[in-house]
Amino acid sequence: MERIGIRLPNPIGDVVAATPLIRLLKQRNPEDRIVLIGSAKAIELLDGLDTWHEAEALEETPHHGKLSAWEEGTFLKKLLLDKIYLLPNSFSSAFAAMRAGIPKRVGRKTLARHFLLTRRLPKVGEPRPMSRVYSEIVGEVQPPKIELACTERGDRLARETLEALAPHGIQPPFLAVAPGAAFGPSKVYPIELMARAVRLSEKKTGLQPVYFGAPNESELIRSVKALHPAPFLHSSLTEMKSLLKECEVLLCMDSGARHIAAALDVPQVILYGPTNPRWTNFEQEMTVALRLEDLPCSPCHKKVCPTDHACMRNLTPEEIAEAVETARQKAIILSF
């Protein structure tokens, strides 16, 4: 029996995109132990799945937060791994695995780290779904579906939250709205337009909106909420999974929230701006994507727009409301 580690990526959306690879490794190595290594949030997100045996959250130091590559190597050494799949393309993740003395280190040869790997895969190359990029590591070009699972604790927390919202007239199914994006402001739809889009969507579909976001998105969401009031839930990922299962449609950016919803079979409306949708082109039967195709500057993949943010500003609230109704119809069809 071998101990096989999977060093998870850092962005939440990429963690979801890695779930097909995790399942493939479990299926192909039934006698081995699958050990997940990643941030506490990544481990929390994957709780409930039956595709792994152990999960180790990378500790944070009291002085500078994230572990250095040297410290991560010390952490990994204690896990006694025989093999590790490195999903981040960083030099530091490969250095940490080498310092830990893990005999087999598999990853893509990027950022001058090829000499740290024992099995080197080609650079990522042309845009394609990240679920496929990760699954290609084990030779699979048609990966299984992305997946997440709700937990009993998450369901209980969600029930308590919904019971608290009921006296205010909020009941499932509702319209979940996640206006934030960790990538940067270039991914965020302008506040005044988002408020109008939510208002029009509520009027068109009859779905009551509920805002979702991380603590660091509170200011953004409060600004939208000031223009169109609705409850704001900044829940844990454990609770968020269970709450999203109660919504009919998620309106969001190209963000982690979209990936979570897609993995839970919740229809989504995605507003694409500076990013290439080919990286997230999976589970499309549940997705309505809005993107301006004729802009010479898009996709730029810049965190801050250097011009007028046309890729987002030129998407109209009316188009978004129509897309939400289209996604709602998908939800109705899927419920039969």
Residues 53-64 have pLDDT tens digits of 999 999 765 555
CATH number, domain with residue 195: 3.40.50.2000
Contact 209, 227 (CB under 8 A): no
Q: Are residues 172 and 283 in the same domain?
A: yes
Q: Is residue 286 part of a domain?
A: yes
Tokens of 289: 């994507």
In this structure, are 87 and 186 located in the same domain?
no
Global pTM exceeds 0.75:
yes
Reading the block at residue 150, the tokens are: 């709700």
**Overall average pLDDT of the 100-117 stretch:** 94
Model pLDDT for residues 116-173, shown as the tens digit of each residue: 999 999 999 999 999 999 999 999 999 999 999 999 999 999 999 999 999 888 899 9
Residue range of the domain that includes 73:
3-138
Tracing tokens 């934030």 back to the chain, one arrives at 180
pLDDT in the model for residue 189: 93
Contact 248, 173 (CB under 8 A): yes
- Domain for residue 25, yes or no? yes
- Residues of the chain with pLDDT > 90, as a percent, come to 78
Same domain, 107 and 172: no
Residue 330 has a pLDDT of 75
One domain, residues 199 and 133: no
Residue 336: pLDDT band (50, 70, 90) is very low
How confident is residue 44, by pLDDT bands cut at 50, 70 and 90? very high
Cα distances from 83 to residues 67, 112, 176, 243, 293, in angstroms, run 21, 21, 40, 36, 43
Domain check: are 110 and 244 in the same one? no
In this structure, the answer to whether residues 205 and 307 fall within a common structural domain is yes
Among 73, 103, 138, residue at a domain's last position = 138
Q: Once rounded to an integer, what is the mean pLDDT over residues 67-77?
A: 92
The pLDDT tens digits for 225-282 are 999 999 999 899 999 999 999 999 999 999 999 999 999 999 999 999 888 888 988 7
Longest dimension (CA), the chain: 61
Backbone angles phi, psi at 14, to 5 degrees: -70, -30
Q: With 60 as the cut, is the pLDDT of residue 31 above it?
A: yes
| Domain membership flag for residue 54 | yes
The answer to the question of residue 151 being in a domain is no
Q: Given 105, 138, 171, which residue is the final one in a domain? A: 138
163-218 pLDDT per residue, tens: 999 988 889 999 999 998 888 888 899 999 999 999 999 999 999 999 999 888 89
Whole-number pLDDT of residue 146: 97
Assess whether 103 and 14 both reside in one domain.
Answer: yes
Per-residue CA distances from 54 to 4, 33, 74, 103, 296 (Å): 10, 8, 18, 19, 46
What's the number of domains the chain is made of?
2
* In the predicted structure, residue 294 carries a pLDDT above the cut 90: no
Q: Quick one: 325 and 241 in the same domain?
A: yes
What pLDDT, on the 0 to 100 scale, is given for residue 39?
94
Give domain status of residue 147, yes or no: no
174 with 229, same domain: the answer is yes
Please report whether residue 152 resides in a domain.
no
Handedness of CA 286, 182, 147, 15 (dihedral sign): positive
Asked if residue 305 is part of any domain, the answer here is: yes
CA dihedral 113, 182, 161, 331 (to 10 degrees): -90
Last residue of a domain, one of 104, 123, 138: 138
Measure the N-to-C terminal CA separation of the chain; round to a whole number of Å.
Answer: 45
- 178 with 133, same domain? no
pLDDT of residue 269: 97
Q: What is the pLDDT of residue 185?
A: 86
Do residue 166 and residue 233 come from a single domain? yes
Query: 112 in the Ramachandran plot: left (φ > 0), alpha (ψ -120 to 50) or beta?
Result: left
**pLDDT above 70 as % of the chain:** 96
Say if 156 falls within a structural domain.
Answer: no
- Inform me whether the pLDDT recorded for 331 exceeds 70: no
Give the residue-averaged pLDDT of 3-12: 97
User: In terms of domains, do 26 and 103 share one?
Assistant: yes
